[in-house]
Amino acid sequence: MGTILIIGACGQIGTELTKKLRELYGKDNVIASDVRKGDPEFVASGPFEVVNALDFNQVEEVIEKYKVAEVYLMAALLSATAEKNPAFAWDLNMNSLFHVLNLAKAEKIKKIFWPSSIAVFGPTTPKQNTPQYTVMEPSTVYGISKQSGERWCEYYHNIYGVDVRSIRYPGLISWSTLPGGGTTDYAVDIYHKALSDGSYTCFLSEDTRLPMMYMDDAIRATIEIMQAPAENIKIRSSYNLSAMDFTPKEIAETIKQHIPDFTIAYEPDFRQKIADSWPQSIDDSHARNDWNWQHQYGLDAMTTDMLEHLSSMAE
Ligand code: SER
């Protein structure tokens, strides 16, 4: 068996994915890479390479050097950042994917994980229990890039036999690494500010409902879809994936159960329009049927765990 390469290992998902994959497969079998070195402790925790996901030769060199068999391509510009730099977002999100798909087509790697997002849906998509197959007219640069990426993944699978697997992540909440420029980031910031300031000003309105997931569940889903037998992965664009959905007001209520004096104010900005274009809840029955997906964390359990971890980090 070859090694595993994570591209974008210093990001919100990449950091935790690297740690978990190293626990499972041994640190020397999991190569972390990013465009720059992140937290020194993380960089020292196993093999690390500086790799620009847009540089085909750099990606190919690392794959050859470590005899990589599986690539997790986590480098991307998220929704809010992408709106500020559309051309670069398109370049990074699409061309990094083409590099990896083409390396698999050339049989230099065997398997790819590539994340998609609820951002593939748009204002004309049914908002509640959004089905796997439905109207998809994304209105953000990020969503357009993820929707196009999904089409290319399916194409490379059907035409060239590439084993590429993908999940449409909802908003992801984690305590160890901050998210990098998404519309759902408020659901991470709110815990940090609740502990440091006792108050939070939210950039979305109080009733903005979005699909969300705790990072522990997201990492488990990512590893489970990659470990599943190939014949179980019937969808080669990307799977809907769901755990919970809530509004800023509802998450604030759960925080108040732990920090009774916590207060929240609302000052919606440009991200409100992005959030309003996305689903409120997701039907993920295909993931549950095809590869036995089951979430563990709901809102209350997540709030308890987030506050415990963040409080002990502050001590
Ligand atoms: N969390 C992402 C974002 O807000 C959605 O995939 O951009």
pLDDT tens for 239-290 read 999 999 999 999 999 999 999 999 999 999 999 999 999 999 999 999 999 9
Question: Would you state the pLDDT for residue 215?
Answer: 98
Pocket of ligand 1 (CB under 6 A): 78-79, 117-119, 142, 169, 171, 182-184
How far apart, in whole angstroms, are the C-alpha atoms of residue 125 and residue 147? 13
Residue nearest (by alpha carbon) to ligand 1 atom 3? 182
Question: Would you state the pLDDT for residue 180?
Answer: 83
Per residue in 162-189, pLDDT tens? 999 999 999 999 999 888 899 999 999 9
Please say whether the structural domain 3-170+214-240 has been given the CATH code 3.40.50.720. Answer: yes
Question: Would you state the pLDDT for residue 314?
Answer: 78
Residues of the chain predicted below pLDDT 50? none
68-106 exposure pattern, b = at least 16 Cβ within 10 A, e = fewer = bbbbbbbbbbbbbbbbeeeeebbebbbebbebbbbbbee
Please say whether the structural domain 173-212+245-280+298-314 has been given the CATH code 3.90.25. Answer: yes
Nearest atom in ligand 1 to the alpha carbon of residue 185 is 4
SS3 labels along the chain: CCEEEEECCCCHHHHHHHHHHHHHHCHHHEEEEECCCCCHHHHCCCCEEECCCCCHHHHHHHHHHCCEEEEEECCCCCHHHHHHCHHHHHHHHHHHHHHHHHHHHCCCCCEEECCEEHHHCCCCCCCCCECCCCCCCCCCHHHHHHHHHHHHHHHHHHHHCCEEECEEECEEECCCCCCCCCCCCHHHHHHHHHHHCCEEEECCCCCCCEEEEEHHHHHHHHHHHHHCCHHHCCCCCCEECCCEEECHHHHHHHHHCCCCCCEEEECCCCHHHHHHCCCCCECCHHHHHHHCCCCCCCHHHHHHHHHHHHHHHHC
| Residue (of 162, 132, 136, 133) closest to 148 by Cα position | 136
Mutate to test the pocket of ligand 1, among 13, 79, 81, 204 (most ligand atoms within 8 A of CB): 79
Question: Any catalytic annotation for residue 239?
Answer: no
How far apart, in whole angstroms, are the C-alpha atoms of residue 310 and residue 315? 9
Nearest atom in ligand 1 to the alpha carbon of residue 115 is 6
Mutate to test the pocket of ligand 1, among 81, 85, 92, 117 (most ligand atoms within 8 A of CB): 117
Residue boundaries of the structural domains of the chain: 3-170+214-240, 173-212+245-280+298-314
How far apart, in whole angstroms, are the C-alpha atoms of residue 305 and residue 190? 14
How far apart, in whole angstroms, are the C-alpha atoms of residue 8 and residue 11? 6
pTM (predicted TM-score): 0.97
